[in-house]
Amino acid sequence: MRNIYIPILIAPHNIALCKYYIEAQDNIGYLRVLNPKLALLHAVTSPYQEDEMREFLYDISTLIPITFIDSSF
């Protein structure tokens, strides 16, 4: 089974907080930092939990400004 990678941008000082929120959510996935200076990250989850991860990211975007990057190209 392949993982789903959801590319996001957040402020660099919010990386640890965002990781904490995602890891505190029961087995939803984890964050992978691609570029710490730009705060470019992948939210990694299983195909079965992709909708749940996206919904969770939208929910916490009220606390941490998150920019979702279109990766459909």
Domain borders along the chain are 4-68
Assign domain 4-68 to its CATH architecture.
Answer: 2-Layer Sandwich (3.30)
The tens digit of pLDDT for each residue in 8-56 reads 999 999 999 999 999 898 889 999 999 988 889 999 999 999 999 999 9
For the entire predicted model, the pTM comes to: 0.87
Cβ pair 53, 18 in contact under 8 A:
no
Output the pLDDT for position 1. 72
Cα–Cα distances in angstroms (integers) from residue 61 to residues 1, 6, 11, 58, in the given order: 28, 14, 12, 5
Per-residue pLDDT band for 70 (boundaries 50, 70, 90) equals confident
> SS in 3 state form for 15-55?
HHHHHHHHHHCCCCCEEEEEECCCCEEEEEECHHHHHHHHH
- Assign 58 to helix, strand or coil: helix
pLDDT over 70 (residue 73): no
- Joined tokens for residue 23: 């890891």
